[in-house]
Amino acid sequence: MTRQPALLQRALPTAVILLLIAGPVCLGLAGTLLPAFGYLPALGGSVLSLDPFRAVLSEPGIGLSLALSLGTGLAATAISLAIVALFTAAWFETRVFKAMTRFLSPLLSVPHAAAAIGLAFVIAPSGLIVRLLSPWATGFDRPPDLLIIHDPLGLTMTAGLIAKEVPFLFLMTLAALPQTEARRHLRIAANLGYGRMAGFFKVALPQIYPQIRLPVLAVLAYSTSVVDVARILGPTTPAPLAPRIIDWMADADPALRLQASAGAVLQLLLSVGAILIWRFGEILCSRIARSGRSSGRRYSRDAAMRQMAAVPVGLLIAAMVAALAALALWSLTAGWWFPQAFPTALTLRHWAGLFPGGSHLVGDTLLIALPAAVVAIALIVWQLELWTRTGPRRRHAAFRNLMFLPLLVPQISFLFGLQVLFLVAGWDGTYVAVALTHLVFVLPYVFLALSDPWDHLDPRLAKVAATLGASQNRILWSIRLPMLLRPLMVAAAIGFAVSIGQYLPTLMIGAGRIATITTESVALASGGSRSVAAVYAMLQLMLPLLGFVLASVVPAIAFRHRLALRLQR
Amino acid sequence: MSLKRLMPIAAALALTASMAQAQSARDASWDDITAAARGQTVYFHAWGGEPRINAYIDWAAGEVKDRYGVTVKHVKVADTAGTVTQIVAEKTAGRTTGGAVDLVWINGENFNTLKSQGLLADPGWAQTLPNWKYVDVEGKPTVLSDFTVPTDGQESPWGMAKLVFMYDSARLAEPPRSLDALAAYAAEHPGRVTYPQPPNFYGSTFLKQILISKIDDRSKLEKPVDPDRFQQDVAPLFAYLDKIHPDLWRKAEAFPANAAEMRRLLADGELDIAFTFNPGDASSAIANGELPDTVRSFVLTGGTIGNTHFVAIPFNSSAKEGAKVLANFLLSPEAQARKQDPAVWGDPTVLKISSLPENDRARFEAIDLGIATLGPDELGPTLPEPHPSWVAAIEKAWAARYGGS
């Protein structure tokens, strides 16, 4: 029988983690609410009123902005989920599925902004595709005047979001599968003569979906409030709500600050509304599915359907590969005029131009991302270890749900108030403030990445060690952590990538004093030089990738004499 | 000699002495400033969207560090309005010292906001800079009057700007040299002309250029907007825009975000005409491989809008002395000549070249302006900026008309 730690000791890690996550979100929301109702004494606003909301609602085209945010967010989430579900249904436990897993996982580390910049390089009327086809196939010797990027309906922006959300939902589904009986039930369904896809939708998806509901809602909240992708690919006349809020905040007229706060509150309502609509859709879908489930139809001839299910994923991977290739090419270009399919000359000048200014930027990025990842790992390990020691399955679903809080509340809605709080505390524009804000987003992902491997570690190893007289701490340091080296490294790499990808938190809490490669590449995306923008987008890709390479190389070296711990291929 | 006759001489002597004293006091105080500046860190908030300008600021930072021991950190802002908001927010939070911004690259509306709210360092400091004596106050009156608002020495001039158009001579033999010719060109070549989306600075400047050319009485623009007459005053501007919008790039449903993006679209062949506020921009971009070498510049007959851009010190800067040392260095003939070189940046000087010592004059004469840069005599007349209140008003009217379609 293990000795129970004292209550304080038991609750401490939970308290620290929740404080770090819920604290900034709740305080930030409060800091946004007051100015939204006109209370910001320094600007002469000391009377509560609804004027800021009236100002937002009287902005030209605001209805369209709200509709765009809602529409693109819901569409991106629904389409991403459909792509993932169809593909998993059609190809689960096949070679194709394994190959795609290997392709999609690294795509997760591509920051949204870099993906959007690369995508714009490919699909613009003067982009890679038209260049490759012109003039021989299209007859264009000038780029066609086609509204693809910044289209008023936000279709391109939705596509950009899908390209990033599919890998995320796919990996979440992969993580959820072992926690269900899906694998076994699929075999039973197959034995009963159900087609692969029918079997998946009838027996596996109802088990998997509850496991991935929170990630799906996180995608929805993110997509309805995204700023960087909207800036690079989204409509501008008018823009969706979130980028307009940022514009109001940056306006020279201080009165617009109150209006921006009201906009941030409206954004929160909009994202909550999107979640309610989604919930309604869930109920509707389950009603329809229930009647279909008991129909008994087998749909055993689904070969054509299965091929079709692979098309979107294949297209997506092709688009992302093309986007990355376009980025790489542009970063080396010394002059590339339409309709040439290839640059006239290549140069390393744009990369050399990174020094010394850019190296400082990379340094700042690392200075924030590394501590954020390390602190997150330490806190989550502390929490998981405590759960292991306090006995079987004493974890609370509530904890997991709370970890999703920062992913479900639109960033803009609480960062706004948080910025004011940091300012009052004199912490704005410091590394600590930015890293703390990043931690709010890094902690949930590290928890998601680490908790499953931790739970699946064979508990008998610890028991054997304990019977041999090892202390709890020795078991942790000599058995559990070394055996979990690979997932620990992967979780750290994910945390590191999440930190690097943060645009809005860095922009707002960094107060302009702290810039990372992500804020820089979004700023350069609409600049005069595609090559310089490409260099920064490439950097944005390479740093997280480096993390993942380390995460696979270090355990491989450490375990070179441990056959059972090597990755099974 | 009688006392009476001596009096004027004594007075004159006293005056001369006091003037000399004042002069040495000024020098002494400048010495004090450079002494106090040593070891300070200046956070210089300047638009960071142009790698060439960033490289120039890097160079200036290095020189100021070597010569005066002042560390300069370039905070690359996407929009100066963000810096203005930040200073406002600091005042809101009660931070009257130790502010985040020590020097800001600024002009026009943003300067007016900071000045009118008392968020700038005390008036008159700009004229105390040793290099102020070279500033071309007579020839470039906008160094003292920023969008018609008197600077009162609360900002130090840095460079001159003038609206200049660019076109690719390989595709377009004779560019349209008036707004009406531009409209006719767009009608003939749909989708090849556009402007950056207001409230982007360049988009708003284009609107102002149209307003100046089309308004019934230009003197109205020297005064603040008259709300009762505003609709009537801007009617010709919007009549012009209504006419050309269907012929613009993407049928005016999307716009470039800024002038740099518009220049890139010219390079891609999506556009036939781009514009810039820097007469040396085309040559610099050609030298950098960002534009084909067939691109040339032109201006509209009758003149284009021009102004001066400045650097200003916020009221709560923690390194005011260091900021002054940097402002003075940026104003030096050496830094100004380097800035004008298209291979570096190509931004026109605020100095009066004929007032410079000979070796400094030679620095300017040695500059090769580049193939696509118009000479001073080809740049045409400079039209003054309207009062800042016009900018916000036409931006708002534009957004109401076209921004929510």
pLDDT tens figures, B275-317: 998 888 898 888 878 899 999 999 999 899 999 999 999 999 9
How many distinct structural domains can be found in chain B? 2
Nearest chain A alpha carbon to B92: A42
Report the pLDDT value the prediction gives residue B6, as an integer from 0 to 100: 47
* Interface check A530 vs B, CB under 8 A: yes
Q: Which residues contact B216 (CB under 8 A, 6 or more apart)?
A: B233, B236
| A62 shares contact with chain B (CB less than 8 Å) | yes
Distances from the Cα of B332 to the Cα of A463, B21, B30, B45, B134, angstroms: 76, 25, 15, 20, 8
Distance from B41 to chain A by nearest Cα, in Å?
Answer: 13
Over residues A391-439, the pLDDT tens digits come to 655 566 778 888 888 999 999 899 988 988 887 787 878 899 999 999 9
- Between CA B12 and CA B391 the distance in angstroms is 50
A-chain residue closest to B44, CA distance? A513
A455 inside 8 A of chain B by CB: no
Q: Is the pLDDT of residue A527 over 60?
A: yes
**In chain B, which residues have their Cβ closer than 8 Å to the Cβ of A526?**
49, 256-258, 260-261
Query: How many angstroms away from the CA of B229 is the closest CA of chain A?
Result: 22
Searching chain A, which residue's CA lies closest to the CA of residue B108? A252
Give yes or no: residues B241 and B338 share one domain. no
Q: Is A338 in Cβ contact with B269 (below 8 Å)?
A: yes
Is A532 in the B-facing interface, judged by CB distances under 8 Å?
yes
Report whether pLDDT(B11) > 60.
no
> Among all residues of chain A, which has the CA nearest to that of B289?
A335
Tell whether B272 and B241 lie within a shared domain: yes
Q: Which residues of B touch A511 (CB under 8 A)?
A: 86, 100
Q: Do A143 and B268 touch (CB under 8 A)?
A: yes
Statement: the pTM of the whole predicted model exceeds 0.90: no
B135 and B39 both lie in a single domain: yes
Decide: residue B307, CB within 10 A, 0-12 exposed, 13-18 middle, 19+ buried.
Answer: buried
pLDDT at site A538: 92
- For B3-52, the DSSP string reads HHHHHHHHHHHHHHHHHHHHHHHHHHHHHHHHHHHTT-EEEEEEE---HH
Residue ranges covered by each domain of chain A: 8-36+354-569, 59-347
Please give, rounded to a whole number of angstroms, the shortest distance from the CA of B380 to a CA of chain A: 26
**Cα–Cα distance, A56 to A76 (Å, whole number):** 26
pLDDT band at B4 (very low <50, low <70, confident <90, very high): very low
**Residue A2 per-residue DSSP state:** P
Report the sign of the C-alpha dihedral through residues B117, B386, B237, B277, in that order.
Answer: negative
Q: What is the DSSP string of B200-261?
A: SHHHHHHHHHHHHHH-S-GGGGGS---TTTHHHHHHHHHHHHHHHGGGSGGGGSS--SSHHH
B324: in domain: yes
Instruction: Name the minimum distance, in Å, from the CA of B213 to any CA of chain A.
Output: 26
| Confidence band, pLDDT 50/70/90 cuts, at residue B334 | very high
Q: Are residues B115 and B184 in the same domain?
A: no
Chain B within 8 Å of A523 (Cβ-Cβ)?
A: yes
Q: What is the dihedral of CA B64, B70, B71, B75, to 10 degrees?
A: -80
CATH number at residue B100: 3.40.190.10
Smallest CA–CA distance, residue A246 to chain B, in Å, is 10
- Report pLDDT for B17: 47
Q: What is the pLDDT of residues B87-142, one digit of tens each?
A: 887 887 788 888 889 999 999 889 998 999 899 998 999 999 999 999 999 888 88
Q: A527–B260: do the CB atoms touch at under 8 Å?
A: yes
- The answer to whether residues A198 and A245 touch, using CB atoms and an 8 Å cutoff, is no
pLDDT exceeds cutoff 50 at B7:
no
Answer yes or no: do B90 and A423 touch at CB < 8 A: yes
Whether B178 and B265 share a structural domain: yes
Tell if the CB–CB gap between B404 and A249 is shorter than 8 Å: no
Question: How close is the nearest chain B Cα to the Cα of A532, in Å?
Answer: 8
Res. A226 pLDDT band, cuts 50 70 90: very high
Contact call for B85 and A335, based on CB within 8 A: no
> What's the whole-number average pLDDT of chain A?
88
Give CA A418 to chain center in angstroms.
Answer: 21
- Residue type at B31? D
Residues on chain A touching B197 (C-beta within 8 angstroms): 236-237
The per-residue pLDDT for A398 is 79
Residue of A nearest to B282 (CA): A528
Question: Chain B residue with minimal CA distance to A236?
Answer: B254
Tokens of A286: 């389950």
- Check CB contact under 8 Å for A512 and B83: yes
Same domain? B299 vs B311: no
Q: Report if residue B376 sits inside a domain.
A: no
A360 touches chain B (CB under 8 A): no
Query: Considering CB atoms only, which of A60, A512, A528 is closest to B50?
Result: A528
Are residues B235 and B191 part of one domain?
yes
Statement: residue A4 has pLDDT above 70: no
Is A529 touching B (CB cutoff 8 A)? yes
Does the CB of A283 have a partner CB in chain B at under 8 Å?
no
pLDDT at B27: 60
B2 located within any domain:
no
- Contact by Cβ (8 Å): B33, B64: no
| Cβ pair A492, A544 in contact under 8 A | no
Is A511 near chain B, with CB under 8 Å? yes
A8-36+354-569 fold: MetI-like fold (1.10.3720)
Q: How many Å lie between the alpha carbon of B171 and the closest alpha carbon of chain A? A: 10
Span B383-388, average pLDDT? 89
Q: What is the mean pLDDT of residues B2-23?
A: 48
A246-300: pLDDT as tens digits: 888 877 676 788 899 999 999 999 999 999 999 999 999 988 888 877 777 888 8
Question: What mean pLDDT is reported for chain B?
Answer: 88
DSSP helix/strand/coil, B71: strand
Distance from A208 to chain B by nearest Cα, in Å?
42
Specify the DSSP class assigned to residue A226. -
ipTM: 0.83
B261 CA: distance to closest CA in chain A (Å): 5
Task: Give the confidence band of B28 by pLDDT, cuts at 50, 70, 90.
Answer: low
Domain-embedded: residue B260? yes
Please list every residue in chain A whose beta carbon sits closer than 8 Å to the beta carbon of residue B90. 423
- Between these two residues, A513 and B340, which has the higher pLDDT value? B340
Among left, alpha and beta (phi > 0; psi -120 to 50; other), residue B79 is beta
Evaluate if residue A513 carries a pLDDT over 80. Answer: no
Q: How far away is chain B from the Cα of A134, in angstroms, using its nearest Cα? A: 13
Under an 8 A CB cutoff, do B82 and A250 touch? yes
Give the residue numbers spanning the domain of B232. 164-306+382-403
Q: Per residue in A143-164, pLDDT tens?
A: 999 999 999 999 999 999 999 8
**What's the rounded Cα separation, in Å, for the pair B83 and B74?**
13
Same topology between domain A8-36+354-569 and domain A59-347: yes
Which residue do the tokens 């009327």 mark? A125
Instruction: Say whether pLDDT at A568 is over 60.
Output: no
Q: Tell whether B123 and B239 lie within a shared domain.
A: no
Residue A140 is predicted with a pLDDT of 87
Q: Look at residue B15 in the predicted model and tell me its pLDDT.
A: 47
Interface of A with B in 311-340 (CB under 8 A): 333-335, 337-339
B55 and B150 share one domain: yes
Answer yes or no: do A251 and B92 touch at CB < 8 A: no
In a mutational test of the B interface, the residue from A155, A333, A337 whose CB has the highest number of chain B CBs within 10 Å is A337
Q: Is the peptide bond between B236 and the residue preceding it cis, with omega within 30 degrees of 0?
A: no
Residues B101 and B242 occupy one common structural domain: no
Question: pLDDT by residue (tens digit) across A297-319?
Answer: 888 888 888 999 999 999 999 99
Q: Does A512 touch chain B (CB under 8 A)?
A: yes
Specify the pLDDT at position B405.
Answer: 56
Residue among B58, B91, B254 minimizing CB distance to A150: B254
CB atoms B88 and A126 under 8 Å: no
What tens digit of pLDDT does each residue of A46-85 get? 788 899 999 999 998 999 999 999 999 999 999 999 999 9
With CB atoms and an 8 Å threshold, state whether A527 touches B261.
yes
- Residue A470's φ and ψ, nearest 5 degrees, are -75, 140
Q: Are residues B194 and B255 in the same domain?
A: yes
Identify which has the larger pLDDT, A253 or A87.
Answer: A87
Residues B242 and B97 in one domain: no
Residue B228: the pLDDT is 94
Cβ–Cβ contact A147 with B under 8 A? yes
- Tell me, which fold does domain A59-347 have in CATH? MetI-like fold (1.10.3720)
Alpha carbons B125 and B153: distance in angstroms, whole number: 6
Instruction: Using the predicted structure, report yes or no on whether residue B50 has a pLDDT greater than 80.
Output: no
Picking from A142, A351, A516 by the largest number of B CB atoms within 10 A of its own CB, the best residue to mutate is A142
Q: Does A71 touch chain B (CB under 8 A)?
A: no
